Amino acid sequence: MTDTDTSTADILLERVGAVLVIRLNRPEARNALTPALLSAIGSAIITAESDPDIRVAVLTAAGDRAFCVGMDLKAFTSGGDFSKIAPEEKEGRAAFDRLMSGDVRIPLVGAANGTAVGGGFELLLSCDVVVASSAAKFGLPEVKRGLLAAGGGAVAIASRIPLALALELTLTGDTVEAARAQQLGLVNTVTEPEKVLEAALALAERIAANGPLAVAATKEIVRAAAADPARGQERMAQLSPTVFKSEDAKEGAMAFIQKRTPQWKGR
């Protein structure tokens, strides 16, 4: 199933059909985030968006200790400046910032193979759907370290769950089990630890089987509407003509009539 397998210092990229698997690759540090890793994640997002044959990306991590424990506190306390960006990392960091604000063109499936806290949980919250290990825990413990969930986690939590629960999680910094996170709507599916990537790929392939123009427009509309219903309606009105007049729309209707699999062209 694997078409390509490309490795870098901090990220592993693996092509599986129309899906790009992006794997955080710092297992010895429980995939803690460094400035270089932020840029590498952004560069991987650019790779996914730039290839018309990639329909969905899956974000997961190497190792079995954690998905991501957030900021690398050792790097932070030793003077690491997360706001300082090297010239060669600017493009990647800009893409990472887009990711954290939900502004990625293709759908993103989070595959939490282990615990995700702090920036690691914020990474998952930036994904469109999330598959989680039953052994994983999730939380925003920044206040326990005298810090803020400044990567968008506090805002994302407040927009997804009732205010009292959002305040409990962010003010205590406590973690929740995977089953509880699913009950709250913070993850979509919980499965056995060894089946997380398999389940995430299956979900990604179900998404990738659909019309890419329709998927991209639907993702943008739903995300916009979640924050501002009026904006969602506005984007619906703007995007609908392009989708309905596309070759893919005609192909989808014809494939349904002819009882065959549609052949999408993305136009």
Residue numbers annotated as active site: 122, 142
Give every CB contact of residue 210 below 8 A, 6+ residues apart in sequence.
none
Q: 135, 109, 136: which is closest to 124 by C-alpha? A: 109
Q: Which two tokens stand for residue 203?
A: 């979900």
3-class state of residue 58 by DSSP: strand
Backbone phi, psi, residue 202, to 5°: -60, -40
| Cβ–Cβ under 8 Å, residues 186 and 128 | no
Q: Is 186 exposed, middle or buried (0-12, 13-18, 19+ CB in 10 A)?
A: buried
CB atoms closer than 10 angstroms to residue 61: 26
How far apart CA 174 and CA 112 sit, in angstroms, is 18
What DSSP state is assigned to residue 232? H
| Cβ–Cβ under 8 Å, residues 115 and 67 | yes
How far apart CA 234 and CA 225 sit, in angstroms, is 9
Strand arrangement, sheet containing 116-117: 116-117, 137-139, 175-177
Q: Which two tokens stand for residue 90?
A: 């600017």
The b/e string for 224-252 (b: 16+ C-beta within 10 A; e otherwise) is: bbeeeeeebeebbeebeeebeebebeeeb
